[in-house]
Structure 1
Amino acid sequence: MGRALETAALSAADKTIDQSDVAAIQAAERRATGCNETLPGGVAAEAQSAATRNSRTMLFEDKATLSDVLCDASSKLPKDKAVTGEDADRVVAAEMRNNPDMTTTPGGVAASMAAAARLNQNFTP
């Protein structure tokens, strides 16, 4: 999960964090940790704080991006796991539910989770 979040930080680096990203990151963190609460100091809490700041910030260049929040996501997760298809489905649903257009961001959190799940499914040790 952590690496998939970091992939989103690279592939959609300049996308400003909004509520759909927060929802997707929260879903990912919850799936990774097994905890149904937002962890203080965790990646989801940081994303929520960034989205709140962004909603109050007028200049685009002053807004927090996916890269700002997710660049070291693996180190912020107290527990991590490989992404499954069910994990990806939950993250995709969370991102879509919180986007007024009911879409996901190309290369964003949901897309990265879906790609990771596909890779994990096709991996045969």
Structure 2
Amino acid sequence: MQAAENMALGKTQRGGPAAVMQSAAEANERAGFTSHSTATHIARDQGVTVSESTVADGNRIITEAIGDQVLAQYATPEVPTRASGAALGRDQSTIGEALEATALSAGDKAVDQRDAAAIYAAEARASATNEIKPGGIGSRAQSAATQNERTTFFSDKITISDVSGDATTKLSDDKPVTREDAEGIISPEIRNKPDMRTTPGGVASSMAAAARLNQSK
């Protein structure tokens, strides 16, 4: 599965089927339940596949299967593949602006741990040192997600707009969104999500849209 993901996607997805299977295999091997060279007849005879398709809304649908059994099917926003940070000009959409766009497109959504992980990753990407300062927007998002888990009524929950509505002024650093940034922010948002789909209008989608916009300029 790792080889199939690398061939189709260019890398092994963090938290994806290959990573989960590798972790389980290592645990089983340590426990003596299997050996390193063991392979199931399904994988050996029917093969492992990772396929990708693009739908009308611009999302990529990734399907991973062993034989005819689908292990995972998830959607990620399509991001451009040509741009690099060095190619971006000063009139490009920044990470802070994309976070503020999220406050408009999904602002009423209560912050959960996946939103917090994406916002945290966005702040790290925006930072020149790739470090998070205490009290920053990422920390605010994580605190909001934790508080929301203990809050019963939706009206009392902290929303995305509460956290990211003023992102450009709260970030200590900012930078134009690149393909690498978008991909690095998509991963934590979909990780551990049952359907492995990004939130419509959420942080990952906004970053992917900003990366596409920057590519077109």
Q: TM-score range by the shorter chain?
A: over 0.9
Aligned to 1:14: 108
Aligned to 1:51: 145
Aligned to 1:96: 190
Say yes or no: does 1:118 pair with 2:118.
Answer: no
> In structure 1, the residue corresponding to 2:210 is in which secondary structure?
helix
Aligned to 2:117: 23
C-alpha RMSD over aligned residues = 1.1
Aligned equivalents of 1:99 and 1:47: distance in 2?
A: 18
Match of 1:85 among 179, 182, 188: 179
Aligned equivalents of 1:113 and 1:40: distance in 2?
A: 23
- Measured after TM superposition, the shift of residue 103 of structure 1 is 1.3
Say yes or no: does 1:109 pair with 2:109.
Answer: no
Aligned equivalents of 2:99 and 2:205: distance in 1?
A: 10
Aligned-residue sequence identity (percent) comes to: 62
> Which structure has the bigger radius of gyration?
2
Q: Name the one with the larger helix percent.
A: 1
Higher RCO (C-alpha 8 Å, min separation 6): 1
Aligned equivalents of 1:61 and 1:29: distance in 2?
A: 27
- Structure 2, gaps ≥5 residues long: 1-94
CA change 1:98–1:19 in 2 (3 A) is: farther
Aligned to 2:162: 68
Aligned equivalents of 1:23 and 1:35: distance in 2?
A: 18
Aligned to 2:34: none
- Measured after TM superposition, the shift of residue 102 of structure 1 is 1.4
- Structure 1, gaps ≥5 residues long: none
Output the amino acid matched with 1:71: G
Q: Which runs of 4+ in 1 moved over 4 A?
A: none
Aligned to 2:23: none
- Measured after TM superposition, the shift of residue 101 of structure 1 is 2.7
> In structure 2, the residue corresponding to 1:15 is in which secondary structure?
coil
Aligned equivalents of 2:148 and 2:109: distance in 1?
A: 11
Q: Give the conservation status (yes or no) of the 8 Å contact 1:22–1:47.
A: yes
Q: Give the conservation status (yes or no) of the 8 Å contact 1:96–1:102.
A: yes
